[in-house]
Amino acid sequence: MRKRFHGLKRPRLRQSWNKYNLYNLSRAEDPIRRERTFFQQKWTAKSMTRAYHGETVREQKWTRMFRRTIKAVVPMDHRYLAEKDGSELAEGRGSGLDLAPDQKPRIIPKTPYMNMTYAPTERRLDTAIFRALFASSTRQARQFVVHGYVRVNGQKMIYPGYQLNPGDMFQVDPERVLYATGAPKDRQERRAGRKIRALRASQKEAATEETSSEPEPAAEPQTPSSPPPPESTAPAKSTKQTLQSLLAQAKLILTTPSQTLTARRKQDLRAFQRTVKRTLSRPDTFSTATSLDAQLSEITTKMAPEKPTPTPSSTTPEEDIPKLSTPELQAQAESLTPQQLDTLRLALQEARDNPIDASKPYATPWRPREWMSAFAFIPRYLEVHHKICSAVYVRHPVARPGLAEVPTPYGLHVNGLAHNWYLRRR
Amino acid sequence: MPPRLRQPRLQSPSRSIIRSPPCQCLCEKRSRQFSSTPCNATRQRAEMFRWLNGPGNVFRQPLPGSTNYLNAYDRSGNLLRVDNSNAAQGRKSGDGEKKKDEGGDAEVDLETSSIKKKSAQRPSPEARMKGAPLPKETREDLMPFPMNREFRSQSVLSEQLKDAIYRKVIEQGKSVRDVSATLGVEMRRVAAVVRLKAVEKQWEEQGKRLATPYSKAVLSMLPQTPYIENDPMPHESINDLPVHRATLNQIFHPVSESRHFTRSDAAKVFQPDLLPADDRVPHTELVQLEKWRFEGIQQDQRIAMMREKNEKEAQAKRDREARRREREARETTKVDNGRSIFKFQEVKVDERVGEKGRGREGVGARYGVPHEDRKKGQIKIPTRVE
């Protein structure tokens, strides 16, 4: 059986936002004791660092990934490059002129090369997803990849070990990201979610029974050119039928053998079929109107502490008042001052962006999970756009004076020992 | 085995005297007041919860308007920069200086109640927000890993800055190079931002729901580079010189004392075809402009010269591309059978296969070496996705 992932007795630091991990991180000390043999020190360093970096990667695989060459950069000043041609470094007695103590340039900090030992693991897709703050641990990121929620350059990628290339864009399904980074549901919310699921299941069952009882009318609409029925009571159904007929047509074209149908055209048709199927399988979008009403009480409490200040009524209030679902609420809203109206508008916008929805797997309205802020950082080799849950792997991580871009909890000494371990010729 | 006897429902007075060991976990609410079952939590777990509810409680929720990393707090959960600024103020007013609290070990081991009292004395984050704003994070406060001094959380682009980049590149039609130089953002990052922003616009058009609350929450936890309209703050160093492998060795290269030994000479010593740093940085045009400035050329003339140079380079690139395409067309024969297009190209085998006949480009590169990809359990992870 595997050892505890987040242990307290033999603590290992992990790539995770767990509170156990935070506690272990807060009390962690340099694990290397100098009185032990060099081999023992290296072994400990290797095992501690490997528990954090790519613990899902097998040792054999990692040793093949490991590179002794380390990428580094030196920031250059274009003014210096233009002004001096480098010969000034050999002036005087051969090592540059002696400057007055107040003119001496600042000492450039050393480049921490050793902290870049595990740079190759940062190229892995699952690690990059965790670093972009799209998952609460690398294991969760790995699961998202395996379950098919991740796309690389628009294509589904199911391998967590995919090595990102500079310029690759990866996207995670926003629902998964909200689930991974959001606070969990409490008991009542879970119960409400169960109820909604049961209701939906029963509705689905009823719908399937309906279609199975009368197969003739469902098969009848074969003519795609016929206009959709004008009744507004079933617009969804009519669009569904047209889509289905389009799908049937595409299938007919594909199955009949012909010379003119090129491979490219077949591919297009198949892609079209896929999109139609996806559209058909998507459930109707959840209307936010009811949840907006549910949040009105919250909004009114928000407005309560504000005192109505007299303001010049230059704007026309009729246009600015947001539309609410019931006439009583509308009347209430019309009696508000402009400042309160602004607050109302902001609150409504917020509620629209972040609605209460018990069917979601996370607590709604969405809020970040606990203990997240201590782990929230984004290394510079990634460019993350959180609104669309996408990121670009801009370049490989590099070391620069005073800074190594690989996020590792251990210091130079431990990482150096680990690097030394993998330098071993075997 | 003797039959197990049921425990009497009502506890006998003698049994009630035997007290269960004191609960190790934090049962502050005394929810199990009448339970006689010993608490199973281990000592270490109890200590962990004591820390999480005591000094570690500051990490439970994000600190409004600031980052919230481990290194920003002392052992007892006090924000160091607040204490330091208070101490500095005290020093100004003539008070004795207060040293940074390092011996906080004892405080962690204190009773829970005392920690609670401490946390009650400390103003809550909201209260602090309403009062004086927090002082800006120092370098030390941005270290998420206390043991690793060489890593710190670097700032990310703010939404306004991203918008500005997108506006400049797409709407104003400026080149990525220009935008990078004016805003102090790396060129590859500029390209990435434009790409991501384009996806966001596409999503908006399609009516897809954006993860706006998540974005807001995450950005509030990170240090950000703001966008100031007329005086943009540089986000990162844009002229990073990659360390070349050939330059990692120290070379003792004697030259005569009278020789003017420059950077390009040094580059040639390291490797005969290595370019000097002036030509290896990403923004060579900035170096060139600055050189012209030192030569005393007026600004408008400099700009005109640079434009001319860029035009020449672009033309050369276009010519090269055209020549390549022409050569390709000349060398390949296309056969279209209606279904697919076959391309035939003349290949000189002798050149490609190399001396031993197993060159990488040739046909016999892997002759006799089996591919294992049809074996059971072998997966082939793509190396590139277009």
pLDDT in tens, A349-394: 888 888 888 999 999 899 999 999 999 999 999 999 999 999 999 9
What are the backbone dihedrals phi and psi of residue A169, each rounded to the nearest 5 degrees, phi first?
A: -105, 130
How far is residue B316's CA from residue A338's CA, in Å, rounded to a whole number? Answer: 61
Residue located via tokens 């590099």: A398
Q: In DSSP terms, which residues pair with B332 in a beta bridge?
A: B345
What band does A239 get if pLDDT is binned at 50, 70 and 90?
A: low
B219 within some domain: yes
**Are the beta carbons of A153 and B385 separated by less than 8 Å?**
yes
Task: State the CB neighbour count (10 A cutoff) for residue B59.
Answer: 24
B231 within some domain: no
How far is residue A286's CA from residue A291's CA, in Å, rounded to a whole number? Answer: 10
**Are the beta carbons of B44 and A8 separated by less than 8 Å?**
yes
- Are B310 and B263 found together in one domain? yes
Q: Can you give the CATH number for the domain in which B213 is found?
A: 1.10.10
Rg (CA), chain A: 30
Give pLDDT, residue B98: 36
**Chain A closest CA to B323's CA: distance in Å?**
28
Quick one: average pLDDT of A316-320? Answer: 46
B91 within some domain: yes
Q: Say if B218 is an interface residue toward chain A (CB within 8 Å).
A: yes
| Domain assignment of residue B256, given as a range | 245-336
Closest chain B residue to A72 measured between Cα atoms? B243
Residue numbers in A near B42 (CB within 8 A)? 8
How far is residue A366's CA from residue A355's CA, in Å, rounded to a whole number? Answer: 8
Give pLDDT, residue A244: 77
Give pLDDT, residue A281: 66
**Are the beta carbons of A26 and B218 separated by less than 8 Å?**
no
Residue numbers in B near A412 (CB within 8 A)? 150
Total number of domains in chain B: 4
Q: Say if B181 is an interface residue toward chain A (CB within 8 Å).
A: no
Q: What letter would DSSP give residue A406? A: S
Give pLDDT, residue B148: 95
Closest chain B residue to A385 measured between Cα atoms? B196
**Are the beta carbons of B152 and A403 separated by less than 8 Å?**
yes
Where would I find the beta strands (DSSP E) of A180-223?
none
Q: Say if A365 is an interface residue toward chain B (CB within 8 Å).
A: yes
Separation in Å, CA B228 to CA A296, B232, B233, B360: 37, 5, 7, 53
What are the backbone dihedrals phi and psi of residue B241, each rounded to the nearest 5 degrees, phi first?
A: -95, 115
**Chain A closest CA to B177's CA: distance in Å?**
15
- The angle at the Cα of A295, spanning A291 to A296, to the nearest 5 degrees, equals 120
**Are the beta carbons of A377 and B144 separated by less than 8 Å?**
yes
Q: Would you state the structure tokens that stand for residue A331, as one six-digit string?
A: 């009347």
B190 within some domain: yes
Q: Say if B215 is an interface residue toward chain A (CB within 8 Å).
A: yes
Q: Does the CA dihedral B375-B378-B379-B384 come out positive or negative?
A: negative
- Are B203 and B217 found together in one domain? yes
Q: Say if B262 is an interface residue toward chain A (CB within 8 Å).
A: yes
What are the backbone dihedrals phi and psi of residue B235, each rounded to the nearest 5 degrees, phi first?
A: -85, -40
Q: Say if B253 is an interface residue toward chain A (CB within 8 Å).
A: no
A19-27 vs B43-53: helix axis angle to the nearest 10? Answer: 90
Q: With pLDDT > 90 as the criterion, what percentage of chain B qualifies?
A: 60
How far is residue A407's CA from residue A132's CA, in Å, rounded to a whole number? Answer: 12
The DSSP annotation for A285-342 comes to PPPSHHHHHHTHHHHHHHHTTS--------S-HHHHSPP-SSHHHHHHHHTS-HHHHH
A6-20, A109-123, B304-318, B366-380: least confidently modelled range: B366-380
Q: Number of helices (H) and strands (E), helices first, in chain B?
A: 15, 5
B interface test, pick of A175, A346, A386 with most B CB neighbours within 10 Å: A386
ipTM above 0.85, yes or no: no
Task: State the CB neighbour count (10 A cutoff) for residue B278.
Answer: 21
Q: What letter would DSSP give residue A270? A: H
Quick one: average pLDDT of B7-19? Answer: 42
How far is residue B356's CA from residue B345's CA, in Å, rounded to a whole number? Answer: 23
Give pLDDT, residue A77: 94
Give pLDDT, residue A123: 96
Q: Within 13 A of A162's CA, how many CA atoms are on the CB side?
A: 29
Quick one: average pLDDT of A205-230? Answer: 55
Residue B279 confidence (pLDDT) above 50: yes
Q: Say if A108 is an interface residue toward chain B (CB within 8 Å).
A: no
Q: With pLDDT > 90 as the criterion, what percentage of chain A qualifies?
A: 54
Give pLDDT, residue B358: 82
pLDDT digits (tens, 9 = 90+) for A169-200: 999 999 999 999 999 999 999 999 999 999 99
Range from A102-111, A388-397, B124-133 that averages highest in pLDDT: A388-397
Residue B155 confidence (pLDDT) above 70: yes
Residue (of A118, A119, A158) closest to A142 by Cα position: A158
Give pLDDT, residue B379: 84
How far is residue A359's CA from residue A203's CA, in Å, rounded to a whole number? Answer: 15
Residue A214 confidence (pLDDT) above 90: no
Domain edge (last residue) among B111, B142, B173: B142
- Residue B373's SS3 state is coil
- Are B305 and B281 found together in one domain? yes
**Are the beta carbons of B199 and A388 separated by less than 8 Å?**
yes
Residue B140 confidence (pLDDT) above 50: yes
What band does B168 get if pLDDT is binned at 50, 70 and 90?
A: very high
Give pLDDT, residue B313: 93
**Are the beta carbons of B221 and A71 separated by less than 8 Å?**
no
B127 within some domain: yes
Residue B97 confidence (pLDDT) above 80: no
How far is residue A187's CA from residue A185's CA, in Å, rounded to a whole number? Answer: 7
Give pLDDT, residue A248: 80
A interface test, pick of B44, B145, B302 with most A CB neighbours within 10 Å: B145
- Are B261 and B331 found together in one domain? yes
The single-letter code of the amino acid at B190 is V
**Are the beta carbons of A378 and B156 separated by less than 8 Å?**
yes
B378 within some domain: no
Per-residue b or e along B103-121, where b marks 16 or more CB atoms closer than 10 Å to that residue's CB: eeeebbeeeeeebeebbee
A interface test, pick of B139, B142, B148, B208 with most A CB neighbours within 10 Å: B148
Q: Which residue has the higher pLDDT, B123 or B136?
A: B136
Give pLDDT, residue B91: 59
A197-206, B70-79, B348-357: least confidently modelled range: B348-357
Residue A340 confidence (pLDDT) above 50: yes
B233 within some domain: no
Interface of B with A in 329-368 (CB under 8 A): 338-340
- Widest distance between CA atoms in chain A: 100
- Report the residue from A82, A87, A390 with minimal CB separation from B196: A390
- Are B126 and B174 found together in one domain? no
Domain edge (last residue) among B175, B192, B225: B225
Top CATH class, A19-70+113-180+376-422? alpha beta
Residue (of A270, A267, A287) closest to A278 by Cα position: A270
Domain ranges of chain A: 19-70+113-180+376-422, 240-301+324-364
Residue located via tokens 């617009």: A235
B interface test, pick of A32, A76, A275 with most B CB neighbours within 10 Å: A76
Q: Say if A228 is an interface residue toward chain B (CB within 8 Å).
A: no
**Are the beta carbons of B188 and A366 separated by less than 8 Å?**
no
A199-213, A381-395, B121-135, B150-164: least confidently modelled range: B121-135
CA B126 to chain centre: 29
Q: Would you state the structure tokens that stand for residue B36, as one six-digit string?
A: 């006689």
**Are the beta carbons of A408 and B152 separated by less than 8 Å?**
no
Q: Say if A166 is an interface residue toward chain B (CB within 8 Å).
A: yes
A45-59, A197-211, B153-167, B233-247: least confidently modelled range: A197-211
- To the nearest whole number, what is the mean pLDDT of chain B? 82
Range from A102-116, A210-224, A343-357, A366-380 that averages highest in pLDDT: A366-380
Residue numbers in B near A379 (CB within 8 A)? 154
* B259 within 8 A of A85, measured Cβ to Cβ: no
Q: Would you state the structure tokens that stand for residue A414, as one six-digit string?
A: 């431990």
Residues 6+ apart with CB under 8 A from A302: A343, A347
Bridging pattern class, strands B332-336 and B341-345: antiparallel
How far is residue A54's CA from residue A127's CA, in Å, rounded to a whole number? Answer: 8
- SS in 3 state form for A213-273? HCHHHHHCCCCCCCCCCCCCCCHHHHHHHHHHHHHHHHHHHHHCCCCCCCHHHHHHHHHHH
How far is residue A119's CA from residue A381's CA, in Å, rounded to a whole number? Answer: 11
Interface of B with A in 64-83 (CB under 8 A): 67-70
Give pLDDT, residue B270: 95
Residue B62 confidence (pLDDT) above 80: yes
pLDDT digits (tens, 9 = 90+) for B173-182: 999 999 999 9
Give pLDDT, residue A153: 96
Give pLDDT, residue B277: 94
Q: With pLDDT > 70 as the criterion, what percentage of chain B qualifies?
A: 79
Q: How many CB pairs under 8 A join A and B?
A: 256
- Report the residue from A85, A259, A367 with minimal CB separation from B263: A85
B236 within some domain: no
How far is residue B287's CA from residue A357's CA, in Å, rounded to a whole number? Answer: 56
Residue B22 confidence (pLDDT) above 80: no
What band does B30 get if pLDDT is binned at 50, 70 and 90?
A: low
The single-letter code of the amino acid at A198 is A
Closest chain B residue to A351 measured between Cα atoms? B213
Per-residue b or e along B12-30, where b marks 16 or more CB atoms closer than 10 Å to that residue's CB: eeeeeeeeeeeebeeeeee
